[in-house]
Chains A and B, each alone.
Chain A
């Protein structure tokens, strides 16, 4: 057997060769050429025209090329590939535009003073250096934490019911959690208005806001917790029971600690979900301009409401303030989100 060789090298002969890549680039160049000529010659105008013609031209050229080389099936495949890439680009473009605009327009309002002052002494036309959003941040933190105090146990208990007990209410409860996640935020606001503010206190407060936030938070926490608990392998539960543990001990001392980081992820996602909610807070909290440490009396500010009010005031400075507020809110939401992803990835690695 005159077979060869010390050690053959692993390769991937199915990947595109440089020659094929060059051909791909050539297609795009040809399409660009077509696009420029067509726009120059015909009544189509503007950036939009360039892109649309380029897109169609590249599809047509790709189709023709594939058809000639490999037949109709490959040609259709090439067109599909083009469409799919365009779809993806369209989906992603707004994200970049949003991030870019928020940074561009919010950047000028940023200053250290943002985090030390509130808006009680600032008027609509004051320059950006005055005033801050400390009241908004403290308000948001207070309300979200209060909402969390109730939403966390309810959400986790719901998830535990669905995964560990799986009693006869499991199907209706799952359905209800789904239904609750679809409640429009303004309806939640109206509900708390009619159930708590009007009959009981008669005035707006931070606590009312947190009640509404709680309604919006529970489904997120419940759903994510359920997913996390389902990932815990059954061996753990069986081991707990085999050691003589009762069900509640097994769940409380074995399953839940094992899912700890996943449950924290659920909480973080719940916080991120409500941190930016505006509509119920407009109805329920009154949007104060000062830091208000008492959630049960007096209007309470919050980041989304701060943004909303600044936008509503309409002056150049207040709009710049609104953008800065958005930037701050976005950074907070992004930070929460990254934390949640980091935690869940660490758990998977474990």
Chain B
């Protein structure tokens, strides 16, 4: 026995290492069908998104062609129809610049207010809260994420706006030297500021959730290393948690931005739609693409509806870009901070 083994050993030593065998399984028919069905289901989203893009472009094409680039850069919205009710494209002007700026402005205000609050809240929940408080608060914040947006709009109009008016007056009084807070005409209600605050309250739950998840994934060994070196809780957070979670939080903030840009009814009630680019955040004028569409829809004729479709297309592409960037950032954040 031993001898034979001995010989085989010697033989093997001079032989080459065999290539790994390819293991294949021929899938059964039922599995093939299964895979086909499931894949089709999965690709449904692709189909829907593609269709949205196609249909909106198709509907808005006439308008985009006649307006050209001024659709995005112009801020006049004047509809002229000829005698038979068709749009007279030589005179009609559709420009959503004011609305686009308004969309970005309100969403930016929302993010500026919401992100610090959300990050602080997420830090509190991850590192400071006793476990009973944490469970309760996480439940409440997740609940708030489920509130319908019409609720925020109406609450914003009746409850928040009066107090927001008070704060806006304060800001104007003390910080009026900054161009944002300066105003020619003191109309404080229904301003981008109020809309921004309402949007901020709407996106705080989302950004807090994402931040909390990211903070929760901070590698424990780094946290322990910091504490073992004699760090206070805050020193540990600054040295370990923030470098680790930084890009994830940015991704979460961008997701909040995307959400704020697409909001319709929450903004409609608290923002006065005026066709004029308005940077004065406290002034009651401005607009946001989504609420403009809602406003104009009721009385729009066919031609104008095409313009609304084109506006929808622009909004869709904008939010798609923001959300995609956010998604990329959040995905690459697992492990960033290295």
Contact surface of A with B, Cβ cutoff 8 Å: 46, 48, 73-74, 76-77, 79-81, 83-88, 90-92, 94-95, 97-98, 101-102, 105, 153-154, 156-158, 160-162, 164-165, 167, 169, 172-173, 175-188, 190-191, 193-195, 198, 215, 218-219, 222, 246-249, 251, 269, 272-273, 275-279, 282-283, 304, 307-308, 311, 322-323, 326, 329-330, 333-334, 336-337, 341
**B187 part of interface (Cβ distance < 8 Å):** no
Size bracket of the B interface: 35 or more
- Encode contact with A along B188-215: 1 for CB under 8 Å, 0 otherwise: 0000000000000100100010000000
B153 to chain A, nearest CB (A): 8
CB-nearest residue of chain A to B232: A77
Q: In the complex, what distance in Å separates the CA atom of A304 from the CA atom of B297? A: 17
**B180 part of interface (Cβ distance < 8 Å):** no
**B116 part of interface (Cβ distance < 8 Å):** yes
**B58 part of interface (Cβ distance < 8 Å):** yes
- Report chain B residues within 8 Å CB of A326: 150-151, 154
A284 to chain B, nearest CB (A): 10
Q: In the complex, what distance in Å separates the CA atom of A311 from the CA atom of B268? A: 12
B235 close to A76 (CB less than 8 A): yes
Q: How many A-B residue pairs have CB under 8 A?
A: 262
**B175 part of interface (Cβ distance < 8 Å):** no
A98 close to B55 (CB less than 8 A): no
Q: In the complex, what distance in Å separates the CA atom of A227 from the CA atom of B272? A: 41
Q: In the complex, what distance in Å separates the CA atom of A74 from the CA atom of B231? A: 9
B269 close to A182 (CB less than 8 A): no
Q: Which of B315-338 contact A (CB under 8 A)?
A: 315-316, 319-320, 322-324, 327
**B137 part of interface (Cβ distance < 8 Å):** yes
B35 close to A87 (CB less than 8 A): no
Q: In the complex, what distance in Å separates the CA atom of A153 from the CA atom of B290? A: 30
A239 to chain B, nearest CB (A): 18
A180 and B45 contact, Cβ closer than 8 Å, known pairs A77-B235, A190-B56, A247-B31: yes
B144 close to A194 (CB less than 8 A): no
B146 close to A311 (CB less than 8 A): no
B121 close to A88 (CB less than 8 A): yes
CB-nearest residue of chain B to A214: B48
CB-nearest residue of chain A to B25: A247
Q: In the complex, what distance in Å separates the CA atom of A323 from the CA atom of B327? A: 37
A91 close to B121 (CB less than 8 A): yes
- Encode contact with A along B28-62: 1 for CB under 8 Å, 0 otherwise: 10110111011111111110110110011011000
Beyond the given pairs A180-B49, A194-B59, A279-B265, 17 more chain A to chain B contacts, judged by CB atoms under 8 angstroms and listed by A's residue number, are: A46-B166, A73-B235, A74-B232, A88-B120, A91-B118, A98-B144, A167-B39, A176-B49, A177-B45, A179-B49, A182-B320, A184-B315, A187-B52, A191-B55, A277-B148, A304-B150, A326-B154
A83 close to B120 (CB less than 8 A): yes
Interface CB pairs A-B, < 8 A, 19: A48-B167, A73-B232, A76-B232, A81-B128, A88-B124, A88-B129, A88-B137, A90-B121, A160-B41, A165-B35, A165-B39, A175-B327, A176-B46, A182-B322, A185-B264, A191-B51, A276-B151, A279-B265, A283-B297
A219 close to B38 (CB less than 8 A): no
B124 to chain A, nearest CB (A): 4
Shortest Cβ-Cβ A-B pairs, 9 listed: A276-B148, A87-B120, A157-B41, A184-B262, A248-B34, A161-B42, A182-B323, A80-B234, A77-B232
Q: In the complex, what distance in Å separates the CA atom of A185 from the CA atom of B166? A: 32
CB-nearest residue of chain B to A251: B34
The one of A92, A101, A154, A330 that contacts B41, using a Cβ cutoff of 8 Å? A154
- Report chain A residues within 8 Å CB of B233: 77, 80-81
- Report chain B residues within 8 Å CB of A97: 155, 159
Q: In the complex, what distance in Å separates the CA atom of A341 from the CA atom of B142? A: 10
A91 close to B208 (CB less than 8 A): yes
B151 close to A167 (CB less than 8 A): no
Q: Which of B230-281 contact A (CB under 8 A)?
A: 231-235, 237, 255, 258-259, 261-265, 269
B234 close to A187 (CB less than 8 A): no
A95 and B34 contact, Cβ closer than 8 Å, known pairs A85-B124, A276-B150: no
Q: In the complex, what distance in Å separates the CA atom of A158 from the CA atom of B34? A: 12
- Report chain B residues within 8 Å CB of A272: 146
Q: In the complex, what distance in Å separates the CA atom of A183 from the CA atom of B143? A: 21
- Report chain A residues within 8 Å CB of B155: 97-98, 101-102
B34 close to A247 (CB less than 8 A): yes
The one of B121, B147, B167 that contacts A87, using a Cβ cutoff of 8 Å? B121
Question: Among B46, B167, B258, which residue has the most Cβ atoms of chain A within 10 A?
Answer: B46
CB-nearest residue of chain A to B163: A48
A184 close to B263 (CB less than 8 A): yes
CB-nearest residue of chain A to B40: A157
Question: Among B42, B116, B204, which residue has the most Cβ atoms of chain A within 10 A?
Answer: B42
**B285 part of interface (Cβ distance < 8 Å):** no
A191 and B121 contact, Cβ closer than 8 Å, known pairs A48-B170, A186-B290, A341-B139: no
Q: In the complex, what distance in Å separates the CA atom of A275 from the CA atom of B56? A: 25
A175 close to B269 (CB less than 8 A): no
Q: In the complex, what distance in Å separates the CA atom of A156 from the CA atom of B141? A: 26
A68 to chain B, nearest CB (A): 16
**B117 part of interface (Cβ distance < 8 Å):** yes
Q: In the complex, what distance in Å separates the CA atom of A190 from the CA atom of B52? A: 9
- Encode contact with A along B120-142: 1 for CB under 8 Å, 0 otherwise: 11011100110000000101111
B128 close to A94 (CB less than 8 A): no
CB-nearest residue of chain A to B297: A283
- Report chain A residues within 8 Å CB of B48: 180, 215, 218
- Report chain A residues within 8 Å CB of B148: 275-278, 304, 329-330, 333
B59 close to A84 (CB less than 8 A): no
The one of A85, A161, A311, A337 that contacts B154, using a Cβ cutoff of 8 Å? A311
**B225 part of interface (Cβ distance < 8 Å):** no
CB-nearest residue of chain B to A158: B42
B320 close to A179 (CB less than 8 A): yes
Q: Which of B170-191 contact A (CB under 8 A)?
A: 170
